[in-house]
């Protein structure tokens, strides 16, 4: 039977349209009734809140925030909250759907969720950020619960944001609830290893892929990483510590490139203290744009910034043999087809960047039990789950002669739809 063809989306398609097209490609290989599969295309529930926040100068400004629960079949929903000026409801829907597949793929007892506030966090003072976060949390109390929906950090948010959410939620219910969020500070019940977990998972996935294509040779492997936030910076640090030659990295301001390798520790410290890469001075390196970075000569490309970065316009010029997706949805479906035709292996987002939600699960379990693990235990458990999940995806890909992305979604969708069929449709 021929695989159905798809009309190539344009660059104007939304992240949610990308998520739906990826779903359709994978659903073709899932043995389940079409009507049950149709259910999984829709978010279970959505909440949009418009709320006022007082600025430091006394003026009041309105903001819009979202929370989407995509699916609750396997358990409570899990997903981050991002603060960005261009957040849309469609984007949050896509991210929530990808979280469902990510959790199912690595066999966590979670469904997918995502949240967002339309704001550039750089325009907020610390006090304004706190007031916005607390008000957003108050609006979302009906969505959040340590047994129903557990938020985490994402782009534009961090451990401090989670501390404010935890405190606001706790004040509303009248008792302290550490398990209401993950990614919070260690002194409030956060987990060892959570901050770097997504980046560490990206490098674990990269090494698994390199071994399978017989290219595992760290000192002779050049790595390019787009995005130098929490995911990309820790991925770069860990790769560098393992002996890989990280030749280029970038943040929102642009990137730096040295074909002989970068001093990642210096760059990390520079950015950690508020610097932007466009302002980093070093005569041994070149400054490049984010788009130029994607087509630099390298062995591994890890897009770890935003969605829709590797497009049909970029894919023909990618020089990497391997792409490992640290971001959610960085490759569009039509770019995927071009990369596949060029025999460039793509380790998909729901596998490659699952390290964050895996360690978030560890933090949630530790919070519920008030019993904490050390860093070695965290990293051992993370590596075991990532490796097992990669093995599972590889087997499905080989059996069906499909890409790793489609195979990962087949594994995830199959698990969710089988659980849905077993539970049944209420009432």
Give the residue numbers annotated as catalytic, written as ranges. Answer: 114
| CB of 76 closer than 8 Å to CB of 149 | yes
CA distances from 219 to 158, 222, 247, 268, 418 (A): 33, 8, 12, 20, 44
* Torsion region of 254: left, alpha or beta (phi above 0 gives left; psi -120 to 50 gives alpha): left
Q: Which residues 6+ apart lie within 8 Å of 281 measured at CB? A: none
Expressed in percent and rounded to 5, the helix, strand and coil fractions of the chain are 45, 15, 35
204 and 378 Cβ atoms separated by less than 8 Å? no
d(CA 166, CA 141): 11
Cα–Cα dist 88/65, whole Å: 9
245 contacts: CB under 8 Å, gap ≥ 6: 219, 220, 221, 222, 223, 260, 261
CA-nearest of 169, 241, 265 to 249 is 265
The 10 Å Cβ neighbour count of residue 130 is 18
Q: Which residues are registered as beta bridge partners of 118?
A: 84
Residue 112 near residue 99, CB atoms below 8 Å: yes
H or E segment to which residue 63 belongs: strand 60-69
Element (H, E) at 198: helix 197-212
Alpha-carbon distance of 191 to 92, in angstroms, equals 26
Distances, alpha carbon 89 to alpha carbons 119, 181, 302, 361, in Å: 14, 22, 26, 25
The backbone torsions φ and ψ at residue 321, rounded to the nearest 5 degrees and listed phi first, read -85, -20
Angle at 116 between CA 110 and CA 118, to 5 degrees: 175
**Tokens representing residue 407 in the block:** 């195979």
């Amino acid at each position: 039977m021929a695989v159905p063809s798809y009309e190539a989306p344009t660059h104007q398609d939304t992240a949610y349209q990308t998520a739906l097209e990826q779903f359709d490609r994978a659903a073709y290989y899932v043995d389940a009734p079409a009507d049950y599969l149709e259910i999984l295309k829709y978010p279970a529930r959505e909440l949009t809140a418009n709320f006022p926040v007082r600025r430091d100068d006394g003026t009041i400004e309105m903001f819009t925030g979202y929370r989407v629960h995509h699916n609750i079949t396997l358990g409570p929903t899990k997903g981050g909250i991002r603060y960005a000026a261009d957040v849309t409801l469609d984007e949050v829907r896509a991210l929530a759907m990808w979280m469902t597949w990510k959790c199912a793929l690595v066999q966590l007892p979670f469904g997918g969720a995502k949240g967002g506030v339309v704001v550039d966090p750089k325009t907020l003072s610390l006090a304004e950020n706190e007031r916005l976060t607390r008000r957003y949390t108050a609006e979302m109390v009906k969505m959040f619960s340590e047994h129903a929906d557990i938020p985490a950090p994402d782009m534009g948010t961090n451990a401090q944001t989670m501390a404010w959410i935890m405190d606001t939620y706790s004040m509303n219910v009248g008792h302290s609830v550490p398990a209401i969020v993950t990614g919070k500070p260690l002194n409030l019940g956060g987990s060892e290893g959570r901050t770097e977990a997504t980046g560490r998972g990206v490098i674990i996935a990269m090494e698994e892929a390199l071994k399978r294509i017989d290219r595992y040779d760290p000192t002779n492997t050049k790595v390019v990483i787009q995005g130098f936030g929490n995911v990309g910076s820790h991925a770069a640090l860990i790769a560098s510590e393992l002996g890989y030659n990280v030749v280029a990295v970038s943040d929102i301001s642009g990137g730096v490139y040295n074909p002989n390798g970068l001093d990642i520790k210096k760059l990390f410290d520079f950015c950690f203290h508020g610097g932007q890469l466009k302002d980093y001075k070093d005569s041994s390196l070149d400054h490049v744009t984010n788009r130029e970075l994607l087509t630099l000569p390298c062995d591994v490309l890890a897009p770890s910034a935003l969605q829709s970065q590797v497009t049909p316009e970029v894919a023909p010029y990618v020089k990497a043999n391997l792409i490992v997706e640290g971001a959610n949805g960085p490759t569009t479906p039509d770019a995927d087809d071009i990369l596949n035709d060029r025999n460039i292996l793509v380790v998909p987002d729901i596998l490659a960047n699952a390290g964050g939600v895996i360690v978030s699960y560890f933090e949630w379990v530790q919070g519920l039990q008030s019993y904490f693990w050390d860093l070695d235990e965290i990293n051992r458990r993370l590596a075991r789950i990532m490796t097992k999940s990669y093995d599972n995806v590889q087997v499905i890909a080989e059996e069906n002669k499909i890409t790793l992305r489609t195979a990962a979604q087949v594994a995830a969708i199959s698990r969710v739809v089988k659980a849905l069929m077993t539970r049944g449709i209420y009432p």
